[in-house]
């Protein structure tokens, strides 16, 4: 039973009891009986009115609590004739106005944050209190090549990617460059925010691959142009003088003439070799625009195998094919792509040396044809992985570091995704994704 019901029942019981007492004591005296009964009736009415005035604030509190419990902040109450109730109404109206403004402000901020995360080119991973992923934006989903539903609820270690394991080891607010999928460079930073008084973490991952590649390209382009200018001018002038010296050598006698001619010709040969080296370096800067045409990628890989088959037989390198019977026709520059495949295969053969295997995988997946050239050398160390695709970097004593740079330039011009991955003692895999033309 509610309080106002109990109070009304109490007033009725009191006045009924008093009325009964008056009835039994003064029923024979009408001059006192009827006035006293009238007083009791007036008292009952006044008590009911006073109890209503007293209980109005409580009833208002119950109603306002229900509104707050339901999250209804749009309802406002009008003042009444009860001063005590009016004070509560005024306070309640101010409170719900403030709550409504805060809710609107938070909603706008949340909407802005959602749109910002959705439009951000940086990948964002938000974690719950247990370190599991609770939210990823579209850039993070694209970076992982997985749908958000496949990621949410899992930890970074459970994603099964080498670079995501590195993310879990990031220090707080300490940016770090991580190498991912062979050629990608990612700037990663881990930070924290407060949620309901507790600390949660998030990680931002920014793609720096193209920015760093373009910076490296501009640096080595400037260096090569300067070197080519100086070397070509010097070699041209000295070769002219050396050829004049050859004419002078004809005036020498016997062995002196032979020794002189041999020395001069050796110098000229070294100059020609130097010119050839510079032309090889310059070739990286002069990669032509791809002239794409329909291409059978399976046949193109077979053509490359045919060119190196004799060398593979001499060194005991076995080719193993893992290809379907038919593949979609692709669009690419066959000549440039043949250069790419030749460089990849040559690197694999040199890494193996003798007695090993090269596995060629071709498969169709997610709207693209994927080519994987896998060698059994297992020579890709962590130090080497950090330098992959860097200009002029080579693990070979006589290498010039041109091959991977040329591969990168051609694949980037085609717009093909690629990666070079491996671990010491395990196979090294060069992967290229060719989009299927629509």
pLDDT digits (tens, 9 = 90+) for 207-234: 887 777 777 777 777 777 777 666 766 7
What separation in angstroms does the CA of 383 have from each of 217, 375, 393, 424?
Answer: 22, 19, 12, 11
Residue 178's H or E segment, with its range, is strand 176-180
Comparing 120-207 with 293-435, is the CATH topology the same?
Answer: no
pLDDT digits (tens, 9 = 90+) for 71-89: 777 777 777 766 766 777 7
Where along the chain do its domains lie? 3-97, 120-207, 211-285, 293-435
What pLDDT, on the 0 to 100 scale, is given for residue 144?
83
DSSP-assigned letters across all residues of 99-140: HHHHHHHHHHHHHHHHHHHHH-SSEEEEE-TTS-EEEE-HHH
What separation in angstroms does the CA of 178 have from each of 82, 157, 187?
Answer: 70, 16, 6
Lowest mean pLDDT, pick from 82-96, 199-213, 284-298, 317-331: 82-96
Read off the pLDDT of each residue in 326-334 and give the average, rounded to a whole number: 91
CA angle, 275 as apex, 271 and 276 as ends, to 5°?
Answer: 115
The pTM for the full model equals 0.56
Lowest mean pLDDT, pick from 169-183, 198-212, 214-228, 295-309: 214-228
Strand partners of residue 201: 192
CA distance 205 to 192: 15
Higher pLDDT, 150 or 270: 150
CA distance 120 to 438: 28
Q: Calculate the dihedral angle through the C-alpha atoms of 304, 308, 309, 311, rounding to the nearest 10 degrees.
A: -170
What separation in angstroms does the CA of 421 have from each of 169, 179, 344, 380, 384?
Answer: 21, 10, 13, 8, 11
What pLDDT, on the 0 to 100 scale, is given for residue 5?
66
CA distance 40 to 26: 14
Higher pLDDT, 433 or 386: 433
Fold type of domain 120-207? Beta-Lactamase (3.30.450)
The reply to whether CATH 3.30.565.10 applies to domain 293-435 is yes
What pLDDT, on the 0 to 100 scale, is given for residue 410?
87
Strand, coil or helix: what is 205? strand
Chain-centre distance for alpha carbon 40? 82
CA distance 267 to 269: 5
Read off the pLDDT of each residue in 314-330 and give the average, rounded to a whole number: 89
pLDDT digits (tens, 9 = 90+) for 376-409: 876 666 666 666 666 666 666 555 567 787 888 8
């Amino acid at each position: 039973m509610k309080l106002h019901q109990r109070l009304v029942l109490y007033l009725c019981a009191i006045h009924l009891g008093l009325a009964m007492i008056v009835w039994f004591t003064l029923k024979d005296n009408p001059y006192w009986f009827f006035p006293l009964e009238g007083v009791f009736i007036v008292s009952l009415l006044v008590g009911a009115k006073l109890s209503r005035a007293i209980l109005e604030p409580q009833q208002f509190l119950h109603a306002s609590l229900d509104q707050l419990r339901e999250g209804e902040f749009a309802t406002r109450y009008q003042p009444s004739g009860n001063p005590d109730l009016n004070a509560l109404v005024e306070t309640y109206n101010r409170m719900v106005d403030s709550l409504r403004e805060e809710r609107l402000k938070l909603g706008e901020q949340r909407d802005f944050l959602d749109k910002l995360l959705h439009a951000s080119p940086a990948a964002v991973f938000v974690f719950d209190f247990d370190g599991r992923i609770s939210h990823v934006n579209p850039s993070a989903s694209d970076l992982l090549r997985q749908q958000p539903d496949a990621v949410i609820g899992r930890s970074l270690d459970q994603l099964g990617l080498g670079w995501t394991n590195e993310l879990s080891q990031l220090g707080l607010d300490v940016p770090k460059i991580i190498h991912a999928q062979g050629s990608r460079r990612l700037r990663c930073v881990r930070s924290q925010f407060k949620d309901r008084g507790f600390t949660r973490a998030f990680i931002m991952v920014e793609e720096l691959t193209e920015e760093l590649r373009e910076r490296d390209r501009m640096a080595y382009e400037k260096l090569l142009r300067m070197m080519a200018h100086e070397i070509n001018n010097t070699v041209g002038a000295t070769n002219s003088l050396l050829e004049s010296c050859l004419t002078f050598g004809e005036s020498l006698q016997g062995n002196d003439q032979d020794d002189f001619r041999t020395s001069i010709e050796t110098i000229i040969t070294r100059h020609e070799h130097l010119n050839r080296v510079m032309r090889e370096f310059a070739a990286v800067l002069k990669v032509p625009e791809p002239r794409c045409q329909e291409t059978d990628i399976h046949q193109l890989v077979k053509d490359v195998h045919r060119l190196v088959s004799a060398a593979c037989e001499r060194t005991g390198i076995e080719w193993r094919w893992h290809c379907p019977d038919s593949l979609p026709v692709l669009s690419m520059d066959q000549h440039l792509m043949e250069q790419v495949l030749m460089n990849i295969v040559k690197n694999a053969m040199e890494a193996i040396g003798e007695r090993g295997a090269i596995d060629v995988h071709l498969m169709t997946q997610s709207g693209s044809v994927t080519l994987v050239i896998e060698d059994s050398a297992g020579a890709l160390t962590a130090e080497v992985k950090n330098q992959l695709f860097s200009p002029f970097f080579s693990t070979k004593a006589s290498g010039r570091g041109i091959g991977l740079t040329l591969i990168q330039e051609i694949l980037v011009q085609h717009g093909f995704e690629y990666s070079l991955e491996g671990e010491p003692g395990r196979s090294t895999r060069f992967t290229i994704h060719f989009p299927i033309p629509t």
